[in-house]
Amino acid sequence: MVTSHKSLWWWLTLGCCLVSFLAASRTAPAQERKPAAELIALTGKAEIKSSGETKFRPANLQDKLYPQDQVRTLADSRAKLFFQDESILILSEDTTLDISKFQMNSQGQRESSLIKMLHGSLRFIVQKVTAGAPANFEIQGQTAIMGIRGTDGVYESRSPDQITFLSGNNVIIIRNLTTGQTISLTQNNFVIATPGQPMRTGTVTPRMRQQILRHYQVAQIFTPTAVTSPGPPPAAVMTALQRSGTTFLGEPQYPNSNQGRDNFSPGAQGNGVGAPAIPLSALHQPLIPRK
């Protein structure tokens, strides 16, 4: 009789626990899955594979990318990703990227991130979060891993890896994954990380910089509505222009004119002729939800 009472008490306790658990699960708010980045520009073709998927699917402009998603560009293609912290990655052709981790805090600032480049090359334009903040935007290639903040540069991962520091007020901390060697890279320098060997550094020449900027050109999809092609000026103005020898071009300065459009790189101040100093948030109105 005592045994039957104990058994009944056990089943009643278990039932109450199950009821409480189900009630809590119904009332608890669903955890919102927030995107890490958005595909804002594309030249050629790119593909995306989400966490849990086995195959890549065609990517389209304004596609969202979440932590643990992968994105890759095909031959003769470029893709530009705009992250929640207003950082930008421009993928070159035949590049595969894994957004391993990307976290923002409650104040809307970058907390930590890890981008794994499985193969290829990219240009990074990373926004500095706050003064004195750690280099918490990490990019890992086949041979090296680097921590960056407020930095514009290029990472080529084809074993050996090459990291080029174009501009920024901070150093890039680079560690060779095979030897453990760590160096601090400064502006206008590059480093080559070879498996099992000491890292070698060099200086970025003006020609190298020009080639890099040209290589990472990518189509822009954002066009400010206030910038339009003007019509011809009044006859009196045309007469004055002709007398002064000035030609009326009738083209806006950016971003629809050929001059300066491909060098229009927000976040990379002073890179490219004609790059206007416009806040990044004004140029790329984020389509991903922001807090």
pLDDT by residue (tens digit) across 93-107? 999 999 999 998 887
Q: Which helix (H) or strand (E) holds 280?
A: helix 280-283
In the predicted model, is pLDDT for residue 109 greater than 70? yes
Average pLDDT, whole number, for the chain?
A: 76
Name the residue with higher pLDDT: 265 or 126: 126
Q: Which of the residue ranges 14-28, 130-144, 166-180, 255-269 would you say has the lowest mean pLDDT?
A: 255-269
For 177, other C-beta atoms within 10 Å of its C-beta total: 15
Confirm if 213 and 263 have CB atoms less than 8 A apart: yes
Per-residue model confidence (pLDDT) at position 107: 79
**CA atoms of 204 and 202, how far apart (whole Å):** 7
Per-residue model confidence (pLDDT) at position 240: 64
Looking at the whole model, is its pTM more than 0.85?
A: no
Per-residue model confidence (pLDDT) at position 231: 57
Determine phi and psi for 52, rounding to 5 degrees: 95, -15
Mean pLDDT for 66-73 is: 96
For 20, other C-beta atoms within 10 Å of its C-beta total: 10
Confirm if 72 and 89 have CB atoms less than 8 A apart: no
CA contacts within 13 A on the Cβ side of 112? 2
Pair type for strands 137-140 and 110-126: parallel
Name the residue with higher pLDDT: 275 or 40: 40
- The DSSP 8-state label assigned to residue 144 in this structure reads E
Name the residue with higher pLDDT: 163 or 267: 163
Per-residue model confidence (pLDDT) at position 129: 61
In the predicted model, is pLDDT for residue 138 greater than 80? yes
Q: Binning pLDDT at 50, 70 and 90, where does residue 159 land?
A: confident
DSSP 81-124: EEETTS-EEEE-TT-EEEEEEEEE-TTS-EEEEEEEEEEEEEEE
User: How far apart, in Å, do the first and last CA atoms of the chain sit?
Assistant: 61
Q: Which CATH architecture has domain 37-215?
A: Sandwich (2.60)
Mean pLDDT for 62-67 is: 95
Task: Give 191-248 pLDDT, tens digit per residue.
Answer: 999 999 999 999 999 999 999 989 998 865 543 344 444 556 667 666 665 665 544 4
Domain boundaries, the chain: 37-215
